Structure 1
């Protein structure tokens, strides 16, 4: 028999002790299961048993739910739930995953997706609304309760009682005998714990913040078009069937499957839904795992372009500025880049910062367990003829002279080093590094003289220069060599 081994653990996230369930091979596609109200990760137990041998399944409990322990004074809001979930994802090192968003999992998951689009490999929506037309009159009435509205706190209290908890599971089902009583019984147990009623009241009064974000979530869907599977219990008293079809406006390729059941569709229809999820996960494109890339100087023109290009390709980018680490301090650098796959350095500054940073990086990266470095240098160190650098010419622009000499010295530091670091030093053209978006059409070669076009001009846009840097990281190209880029 093929039965998964399910682990039950806690992880600390900003003072919150997050409980989670995890099963399946970690090198398989990851499915992040975000639960709804008033439940917790236990609502996915049967789904984990069904899919947990083939896929990597992770199901956390939010603060205020299930076994997760939040500190006294934790301020409950959907933003706060999303922040803790985002920290949880990072703590577990979930670089890329398919998001399963059910009920409250939509507001939490869509916040996570819009903040970290590079992490989302696919989207499964199950009775989780992102469109106005998906809200029933019952839902609209509940959403109208918000802080400052007279009687609002009192009006939401029935939501936390046993009849409503049980009704969310059984109402709308074809056969209530197929719904185990364990789910709603356990939910009510957690709702009745000390402090939970106050937490749920705060969230109920904050639900209107989700509706306000619908346009932002729709824009993310429209712009990123993630592979999407929509599963919907059509007898849901809160979220109408129209909310399922609405996803097609922004993701026309989405697959929609409707079930004649209620809000907790997995309870009654797991035998029909689990194979659809498996088929969806199997059909996702096989991707190269995203790289963790730290960019020193990401606030600058070139560093910022590299960071944006890497993130657009789905890599996990850590933007590091002066406040994060002293670029000339090996110990500070090692602490800042530990856990990264590669480091890009795009720096400038006085007091020979650039060559000192090159030396510091060569010392820090082995300590941090990082062996890939791309150092963004200048075009002044390129040669107009063998042995004749542009920076040494008498007519070299004086306003750029100090920076160009520092960048040339950094190249000398790299070339002279006895190091295990696989470094590359990239030089733009000596003159024509111009604004512009990436075209993907350019040349990159390991050489000390500029690349030129048919007219003898060496030119590249900032966007294509950034593409060449990320290409060098992805392809492992130009190791321990200087390369340059041009059209």
Structure 2
């Protein structure tokens, strides 16, 4: 008998702060992970066929949001998109996911992009299927729905008009080329859940909050442009809510994104699964492996340089560890000989006689002639600005023993910012005080800004392990090009 692979799908609940989140899971635990975020008015069941096709080779996980499917939320749950993202973030932590490709569809777009902003280090890749993040991706019909918000006369009644079976069915069939390929089980099950007690009010609350997503479009676009996750854009061109222009708009911020548009409607998987599933599988395989980079680390014997070496090697990159005896970091010719043939150079140096800015100047001269396009400069946190608007290094309380190095690191940043376009530099600042010993947790945030990343208590803090992880993230993803970014919890 021939061998036939069939996905074994588990159906589970996990408690997230009082919300009983239902989710489906299939696939080997050591396989590439795809976190699937469903749309309106559906739930994780919309991915059933995709689980059957890909669930033997990849680890697929699909939760139901509060107010959808089998997930059970308390009676006083506040149905906003921020709260949906809170629950999904808690869900990801509860089941121990620290890295995944993210599939966003419809409502999965605003939920997923909130999650990605909060945990950028976890996103190995982005699959977008009719999940809009651009103004041109909103049809007149969608803009009319966005206009419904609390306090607008008749808004709630207009939302309730779409929570009925003919509209639910239409979301599946409209725009398809062959409605016979769409199972009626879809809209029947969706309407069953919509008709459960309290569910329509939950959907009304979310619909009246949808305008908050459009307000966040510029922020999400900046995140995409800065982080440049590998991206696969899949779109049904006949979508009544999100027209085709929304698919192509992603290329503005993700110029390397792969875009595929299909002659179908909103729920593109229903009619085009045979074409879409192989694209998803190929993308997951490519993205999860990632390219093996050849990295030269100057200052590899130091605390931060050594941490960067360990993190890069743990991810499978080829690392040339360069110490003081291996290269004179102030000599462009010596740098060129040492780093030629590498994909990127990571530099962590300090010393007397303005060594840091002299090194920055030499690197800017050497890298173009060596053929290395990328420079990641591990700088200091002293040049970050305090709440008073002053740099931390200029404050009287700044430790005197670190002031010279901090000023040198600030001068190096000025040199990089004044450089032309020949080198794709990135300057990485730790917190101004609390860069502490410790392993990688994967919970850090990396932001392109000149002030520290603060936690809920107002403190800026990160471990050396997480700092090094953020450095290698930037090398892998080519993010924060010609920018300074900083890291914290």
Range class of TM-score, shorter chain: 0.5 to 0.7
Change (3 A) 1:470 1:17: closer
What residue is the counterpart of 2:455 in the other structure?
none
- Whether 2:271 is the aligned partner of 1:274: answer no
CA distance in 1, matches of 2:411, 2:197: 56
Alignment-derived partner of residue 243 in structure 1: 246
| Deviation readout 1:205-228 (Å, 9 max, x if unpaired) | 000000000000000000000000
Cα displacement (A) at 1:286: 2.5
Instruction: Write the distance in 1 (CA, Å) between the matches of 2:7 and 2:411.
Output: 46
- State the partner residue of 1:66: 69
Alignment of structure 1 residues 195-234 onto 2, 5 Å: 195-234=198-237
- For residue 45 of structure 1, the aligned residue among 41, 45, 48 is 48
Aligned length: 327
Hey, what does 1:355 align to over in structure 2? Answer: none
State the shift of 1:26 in Å.
1.3
Per-residue deviation, 1:434 = 2.1
Higher relative contact order at CA 8 Å, sep ≥6: structure 1 or structure 2? 2
Cα distance between partner residues in 1 of 2:207 and 2:40 = 10
CA–CA separation in structure 1 for the residues paired with 2:114 and 2:288: 24
Q: Is the 8 A contact 2:32 2:288 kept in 1?
A: no
Give the TM-score normalised by the residue count of structure 1: 0.62
Taking the aligned partners of 2:274 and 2:403, their CA distance within structure 1 comes to 64
User: Hey, what does 1:101 align to over in structure 2?
Assistant: 104
Q: Is 1:434 the counterpart of 2:437 in the alignment?
A: no
Alpha-carbon separation, structure 2, partners of 1:462 and 1:271? 47
Contact 1:438-1:463 within 8 A present in 2 as well: no
* Paired position in structure 1 for 2:267: 264
Deviation at 1:259, TM superposition (A): 0.4
CA RMSD of superposed structures (Å): 3.4
Q: How far apart in 2 are the matches of 1:24 and 1:278?
A: 13
Listed as ranges, the matches of 1:254-403 within 5 Å are: 254-286=257-289
Q: 1:74 is paired with a residue of what secondary structure? A: coil
Verify the 8 A CA contact 1:97 1:120 in the aligned structure 2: yes
Residues of 2 paired with 1:229 and 1:67: CA distance?
29
Matched, 1:148 2:151: yes
Write the distance in 1 (CA, Å) between the matches of 2:191 and 2:245.
Answer: 30
**2-structure distance, mates of 1:124, 1:210:** 19
Find the aligned partners of 2:438 and 2:91 in 1 and give their Cα distance: 31
How far apart, in 1, do the equivalents of 2:410 and 2:181 lie?
56
* Structure 1 residue 251, shift from structure 2 partner: 0.4
- Alpha carbons of 1:439 and 1:96: their partners in 2 closer, same or farther (altered >3 Å)? farther
1 CA distance for matches of 2:431 and 2:208?
Answer: 45
The superposition leaves residues 273-296 of structure 1 with CA deviations (integer Å, 9 ceiling, x where unpaired) of 0000011111115369xxxxxxxx
> Which runs of 5 or more residues in structure 1 are unaligned?
289-302, 316-398, 405-428, 441-460, 477-487
Give, in angstroms, the shift of residue 115 of structure 1: 1.0
Q: Which runs of 5+ in 2 are unaligned?
A: 292-302, 315-395, 414-428, 441-463, 469-489
Equivalent-residue separation in structure 2 for 1:473 and 1:438 (angstroms): 26
Match of 2:185 in 1: 182
Match for residue 13 of structure 1? Answer: 16
**Partner residue of 2:168?**
165
Q: Residue deviations 1:234-261, cap 9 Å, x none?
A: 0000001000000000000000001000
Asked if the contact 1:36/1:102 (under 8 Å) is kept, the reply is yes
* 2:133 matches 1:130: yes
Q: Give the drift of 1:467.
A: 11
Say which SS state the counterpart of residue 39 (structure 2) adopts.
coil
SS in 2 for 1:159: coil
